[in-house]
Amino acid sequence: MGHRPDGSFTLGWVEALDNATNDSETWIRHFDSSGAPLGLAIAISQPPDVMGIDLAADSLGNDLVVVRARIPSGPLNFHDEVRAVALSSSGAALWPGVLLAATAEQWDFVADVDVVPAPGGGWIVVWEEYHHNGSPQFRVRSRHVALATGEATPPVELAGTEGLLREQLALATDGVQAVAVWREQQPGPNEVRLVGRTLDGSGAPEAPLVDLATLVGVEPPVASLDVDAWGAGRYFLTWSQIVGAGDVQVRGVAFSPGFPADPPVELARHPGYESEYGSAVAVDRRGRALVGWYETPVDAPVPSAMVRQERSVTGGALSEPVPIATLDSEVRGFTSSITPGGSWVIAWPKTRNALGFDVVGIDAELGATHGGCEPSDGSLCLAGARFLATATYHDHLGRDGVGHAVVLTPESGTFWFFTPASVELILKVVDACGHPDFHDFWVYASGLTDVEVTLTVVDTWTGEIWERETVLGEPFPPVLDSQAFHTCDAVPIVGPMSQVDFGR
């Protein structure tokens, strides 16, 4: 799925034409933020036996569609290819399809592929290759694909190790750099390492490999893997893990390019089994995670329900688990996406039989994470309840705390830390969008304290964050930021939407 900041998105899927010959067709279709189609479904000219499809949308409305195909080369032989084609928002091909990777030897294959828009334009494509010549080897490689011409840079190797199984790959970008994450099977029984590496705008590695988590569990120890950016230099890695018979856990780790990762947090735990199709996670720029999974009672032959829940990257529940749909067939695919402001889409195949092989369409649910600002003891809602302001502190005795909010006017308020009679911070957010010389929201603040302070203001319409920090022992200086938020043209997050039947 390719999702744009305005909430519009592109869905891609593969249709089987003949199970005997493995012939298939690849399709995409554009939709607006309400789920209404923006034109007809578009057939993608690609090899017939497509094993998987990934796509990414850039901010200009262009999509890069990447397919992984298995090409017969004899009665018992085959080789895998990774091909890409770019299309404009109208569906017109920007250039002929390009071949990004191909295996040469019998039984070599491409294990997984992912793609993201590249900082500065174009796309970054990362894939895993398995080579079986002599001792088994896995290679993780990347290429940059140019927007205007489709020209691809030479492949760059991100990792290569003998004997380690890599079959889960995820890729994300914060607009400045990208992060690739994958799993590695360890020599111990049911032990998996999750590793990551930062990439520059061309897809080349910027830093050495970093361990993000080591997991031990029931086979398979990691069933699905995903990573998303939720701000500049902020990423969130999620995975589903079978931790016991009939006990599946969805966990997450927040990290920055410098690493190391925070301790894992539990996002969901549910009964039944989990497969690689079983969960999906996306995170907006406020650190609100949309977690989706399907549940199966231990004694049931097929999944019984798809469920979603909103959580923060610190693990806190932002909503109760909500059933999306009751199913009578196995889900053979599951995807979700979210915009920086919190508008989300969850899509899954609609099937006609219990094994899930007879796909007759695509169903989806659209909605938004909790938008807007709700005042509380620890938060101010300013400028039309659009901006959420919070403050935290660390004092000279080593104590940490949260500022208590007091409203003064619709644009201003204060925070106290130790006693209501002692004001520590004063804050104002000014709407200057109609000013003849400005087109911004201003943030003015001042402090009456020398404790360590973090003052955060969030535009709840877009998820953009403004932050100021001070050091313990230094006074909080006056802040007069007349360019704090360049978000005058943003539109508010829409409310929850009903399910949509996309058909084909």
If you average pLDDT over residues 460-474, what whole number do you get?
Answer: 87
> How far is 451 from 386, CA to CA, in rounded Å?
28
More confident residue, 187 or 405: 405
pLDDT category at 267 given cuts 50, 70, 90 is confident
Residue 87 has which token pair?
Answer: 């299309």
CATH number for domain 1-216, candidates 1.10.3720.10, 3.30.465.10, 2.120.10.10, 3.50.50.60? 2.120.10.10
DSSP conformation letters of 210-244: EEEEEEE-SSSS--EEEEEEEETTEEEEEEEEEEE
Backbone angles phi, psi at 69, to 5 degrees: -125, 150
Predicted confidence (pLDDT) at residue 471 exceeds the cutoff of 90 = yes
Tens digit of pLDDT for each residue in 57-86? 887 888 888 888 777 766 667 778 888 888
Predicted confidence (pLDDT) at residue 495 exceeds the cutoff of 60 = no
8 A C-beta contact, residue 95 and residue 83? no
CATH number for domain 230-370, candidates 3.40.50.10490, 3.30.1200.10, 2.120.10.10, 3.40.1170.10? 2.120.10.10
Predicted confidence (pLDDT) at residue 245 exceeds the cutoff of 70 = no
| Residue 163 CB burial class (10 angstroms; 0-12, 13-18, ≥19) | exposed
Please tell me which of 168-182, 296-310, 366-380 the model is most confident about, judged by mean pLDDT: 168-182
**Percent of the chain scored above 90 by pLDDT?**
20
Q: What is the pLDDT of residue 502?
A: 45
Amino acid at 72: P
Predicted confidence (pLDDT) at residue 494 exceeds the cutoff of 50 = no
Q: What is the pLDDT of residue 478?
A: 95
Mean pLDDT is lowest, of 122-126, 271-275, 323-327, 474-478, for 271-275
pTM of the predicted model over 0.85: no
Mean pLDDT is lowest, of 9-13, 122-126, 257-261, 346-350, for 257-261
Tens digit of pLDDT for each residue in 425-444? 999 998 887 777 888 899 99
> How far is 312 from 373, CA to CA, in rounded Å?
16
Predicted confidence (pLDDT) at residue 457 exceeds the cutoff of 50 = yes
Q: What is the pLDDT of residue 475?
A: 95
SS3 457: strand
Q: What is the pLDDT of residue 390?
A: 93
8 A C-beta contact, residue 165 and residue 185? yes
3-class SS string, 22-83: CEEEEEEEEECCCCCECCCCEEECCCCCEEEEEEEECCCCCEEEEEEEEEECCCCCEEEEEE
Q: What is the pLDDT of residue 317?
A: 66
Predicted confidence (pLDDT) at residue 117 exceeds the cutoff of 80 = yes
Tens digit of pLDDT for each residue in 272-288? 554 444 566 777 665 66
More confident residue, 224 or 279: 224
Give the mean pLDDT of the chain: 77
8 A C-beta contact, residue 65 and residue 29? no
Q: What is the pLDDT of residue 349?
A: 73
Q: Report the b/e string of 68-98 with b at 16+ CB within 10 A.
A: bbbeeeeeeebbbbbbbbbbebebeebbebb
Q: How many CB atoms lie within 10 A of CB 189?
A: 8
User: In which residue ranges of the chain is CATH 2.120.10.10 found?
Assistant: 1-216, 230-370
pLDDT category at 218 given cuts 50, 70, 90 is low
| Residue 27 CB burial class (10 angstroms; 0-12, 13-18, ≥19) | middle
If you average pLDDT over residues 14-30, what whole number do you get?
Answer: 69
If you average pLDDT over residues 131-139, what whole number do you get?
Answer: 72
More confident residue, 232 or 460: 460
> How far is 126 from 139, CA to CA, in rounded Å?
10
Please report, for residues 191, 197, 227, 255, 344, the alpha-carbon distance to residue 213 in angstroms, rounded to integers and kept in the order given: 11, 13, 13, 11, 27
Q: What is the pLDDT of residue 358?
A: 58
Q: What is the pLDDT of residue 467?
A: 92
If you average pLDDT over residues 318-339, what whole number do you get?
Answer: 65
Q: What is the pLDDT of residue 503?
A: 46
If you average pLDDT over residues 413-421, what whole number do you get?
Answer: 95
Q: Which long-range contacts (CB under 8 A, 24 or more apart) does 287-290 make?
A: 287/230, 287/231, 287/234, 287/236, 287/254, 287/312, 287/313, 287/314, 288/312, 288/318, 288/342, 288/369, 288/370, 289/236, 289/238, 289/252, 289/313, 290/336, 290/338, 290/344, 290/346, 290/369
> How far is 54 from 496, CA to CA, in rounded Å?
27
Q: What is the pLDDT of residue 476?
A: 95
> How far is 391 from 433, CA to CA, in rounded Å?
25
Residue 5, CB-side half-sphere exposure with 13 Å CA sphere: 16
Please report, for residues 106, 281, 465, the alpha-carbon distance to residue 259 in angstroms, rounded to integers and kept in the order given: 39, 21, 21
Nearest 5 degrees, angle CA 117-CA 122-CA 128? 65
Please tell me which of 2-11, 88-97, 211-220, 276-285 the model is most confident about, judged by mean pLDDT: 88-97
Question: Which residues are CB-contacts of 306 (< 8 A; sequence separation ≥ 6)?
Answer: 292, 293, 294, 295, 323, 324, 325, 327, 331, 334, 346, 348
